[in-house]
């Protein structure tokens, strides 16, 4: 039998086991309903070439992440052909395209109140365009590539660029409000930069820098609220020598911890840290999870056991949280967010790995050499995978049971995530 070029990696994952069960659009990883069907959980409903071949220069590479506007069935995605695309979510057809002066390898932000899309370009600017038409509202020049997702807080937008600047601007007009800056570290740096994080509880804005520092700012005027925390010094103390890479490029994540409000950050050389969000004091650290480039705080709400599973009628399962970190050096790792202890680790054979994203209770990650994988957040095992022989550097985006991603060759995919057929139905 001839195989489709959209190769489902059933053979690659068949020995990995399963630990999740899909119930409608939700997954209950505590009560598996199948154990022998590691494939058929992902199906492609959109497959189209997006990046214009005539604009491709050098190595194939697509970064960033799509943004989904579920209310209007739209997906916004940047491309190495210098464009931001608005696509129909159902079939991937183009609604409009906005041309910039360089590649668009960023994650857009959709503003439903204004019907605006904010996105960055490697030409050094943050753009605001009308979501319905792609018409330019304003362009804010920063002087260096903008690849991380802006954060909206009221009438403010907070965002960063690759030269260690943090900006606050008016979301409607692009008028600057304040900015902060640290001198980039001397020597070698890891590609990429941190994004901004905003805490609505305290109105603090958190930012990590290439020199290894993490700082909290007052969202109103940009005043520093911490003594800058030097993660590079922490890494040096732990290793006994100066680290080769100082970068703290992972966008901070906020959480409610038993000890109070915390922010999770990482140092490329020093590992992952939980810091007190109010003071910057260390709550815990894990110096083994090195080389981290992205993190996800995965949550599963409290729920009753699956009524069709072996534990039906059991007591309420409490809420569960897991801090999942991506690292080409250490692999995909699940950490206890309260202690930093490693719960599970899935090594990456070679090449890079994208940020993990939650989808239908599982997590979805792309790899630069081995395709796109659906994985269990409970133990890191592979459920299913898709490989087009081009790899993924762009982080997928998901809503409900659908996900979107683009391969390094510029092929845009829409993927439906669903449970495998019941064993009796499959046998018919």
pLDDT band for 419, please (50, 70, 90 cuts).
low
Please state, rounded to an integer, the average pLDDT across all residues of the chain: 84
Judged against a pLDDT cut of 50, whether residue 221 lies above it is answered with yes
- Consecutive H or E run containing 260: strand 260-267
Q: What is d(CA 128, CA 142) in angstroms, rounded to the nearest whole number?
A: 14
pLDDT surpasses 80 at 218 = yes
Q: What angle do CA 230, 235, 236 make, to 5 degrees?
A: 100
Nearest 10 degrees: Cα torsion 241, 287, 197, 242: 0
- Tell me, what's the pLDDT at 103? 94
Please give the model's pTM, rounded to 2 decimal places.
0.86
The whole-number average pLDDT for the span 104-122 is 97
Summarised one tens digit per residue, pLDDT across range 337-374 is 999 999 999 987 777 899 999 998 899 999 988 899 99
What mean pLDDT do residues 162-177 have?
97
What does the block give as tokens for 344? 């599970």
The pLDDT, as a whole number, for residue 269 is 84
Asked whether the predicted pLDDT for residue 325 surpasses 80, the reply is yes
Q: State the sign of the Cα–Cα–Cα–Cα dihedral 42, 48, 52, 53.
A: positive
Run of H or E including 274: strand 271-276
Q: What is the reported pLDDT for 406?
A: 95
Least confident window among 3-12, 44-53, 294-303: 3-12
pLDDT band at 168 (very low <50, low <70, confident <90, very high): very high
pLDDT-derived band at 125 (thresholds 50, 70, 90) equals very high
- How long is the chain? 428
Tell me the CA distances in angstroms from 363 to 17, 36, 383, 394, 403, one per residue in order.
15, 19, 10, 15, 11
Residues 368/351, Cβ–Cβ less than 8 Å: yes
Give the dihedral sign, CA 317/20/75/105: positive
Beta strands in 62-123 (DSSP E): 67-69, 74-78, 83-88, 94-99, 109-111, 116-120
Indicate the SS3 state at residue 339.
Answer: coil
**pLDDT for 131-146, tens place per residue?**
999 999 999 999 999 9
Given pLDDT bands bounded at 50, 70 and 90, which one contains residue 32?
very low
pLDDT tens-digit readout, 143-158: 999 999 999 999 999 9
Nearest to 376 by CA among 6, 13, 12, 7: 13
Sorted by where each begins, the domain ranges of the chain are 7-63+251-427
Per-residue pLDDT averaged across 324-343, rounded? 94
Quote the percentage of the chain above a pLDDT of 90.
61
Rounded CA-CA distance 116/275 in Å is 34
CA neighbor of 85 nearest in space, from 111, 112, 117: 117
The highest-level CATH class for domain 7-63+251-427 is mainly beta
N-to-C CA span, the chain: 20
Cross-strand partners of 205: 198, 217
| Gap between the Cα atoms of 193 and 48, Å rounded | 30
pLDDT exceeds 70 at position 385? yes
pLDDT tens-digit readout, 204-216 = 999 999 888 999 9
């Amino acid at each position: 039998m001839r195989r489709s070029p959209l190769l489902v990696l059933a053979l690659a994952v068949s020995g990995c086991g399963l630990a999740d069960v899909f119930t409608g659009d939700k997954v209950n990883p505590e009560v598996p309903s199948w154990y022998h069907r590691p494939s058929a959980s992902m199906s492609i409903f959109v497959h189209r070439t997006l990046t214009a071949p005539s604009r491709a220069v050098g190595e194939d590479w697509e970064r960033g992440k799509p943004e989904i506007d579920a209310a209007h069935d739209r997906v916004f995605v940047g491309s190495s052909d210098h464009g931001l695309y608005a696509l129909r979510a159902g079939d991937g057809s183009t609604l409009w395209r906005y041309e910039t002066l360089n590649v668009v390898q960023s994650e857009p932000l959709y503003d439903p109140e204004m019907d605006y899309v904010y996105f960055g370009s490697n030409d050094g600017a943050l753009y605001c365009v009308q979501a319905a038409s792609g018409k330019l509202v304003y362009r804010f020049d920063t002087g260096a590539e903008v690849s991380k997702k802006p954060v909206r807080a009221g009438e403010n937008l907070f965002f960063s660029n690759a030269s260690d600047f943090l900006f606050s601007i008016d979301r409607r007009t692009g008028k600057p409000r304040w900015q902060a800056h640290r001198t980039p570290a001397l020597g070698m740096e890891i590609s990429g930069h941190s994004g901004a994080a905003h805490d609505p509880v305290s109105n603090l804005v958190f930012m990590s820098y290439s020199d290894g520092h993490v700082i909290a700012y007052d969202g109103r005027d940009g005043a520093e609220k911490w003594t800058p925390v030097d993660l590079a010094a922490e890494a040096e103390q732990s290793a006994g020598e100066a680290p080769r890479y100082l970068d703290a490029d992972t966008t901070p994540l906020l959480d409610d911890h038993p000890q109070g409000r915390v922010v999770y950050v990482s140092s490329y050389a020093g590992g992952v840290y939980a810091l007190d969000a109010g003071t910057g004091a260390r709550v815990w650290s894990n110096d083994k999870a090195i080389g981290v480039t992205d993190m996800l705080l995965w949550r599963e709400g409290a729920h009753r056991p699956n009524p069709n599973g072996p534990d039906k009628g059991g007591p309420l399962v409490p809420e569960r949280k897991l801090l999942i970190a991506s690292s080409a050096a250490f692999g995909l790792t699940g950490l206890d967010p309260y202690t930093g202890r490693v719960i599970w680790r899935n090594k990456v054979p070679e090449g890079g790995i994208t940020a993990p994203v939650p989808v239908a209770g599982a997590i979805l990650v792309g790899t630069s050499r081995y395709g796109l994988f659906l994985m269990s957040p409970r133990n890191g095992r592979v459920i299913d995978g898709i490989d087009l022989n081009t790899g993924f550097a762009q982080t997928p985006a998901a809503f409900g049971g659908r996900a979107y991603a683009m391969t390094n060759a510029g092929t845009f995919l829409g993927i439906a995530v669903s449970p495998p057929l019941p064993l009796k139905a499959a046998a018919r």
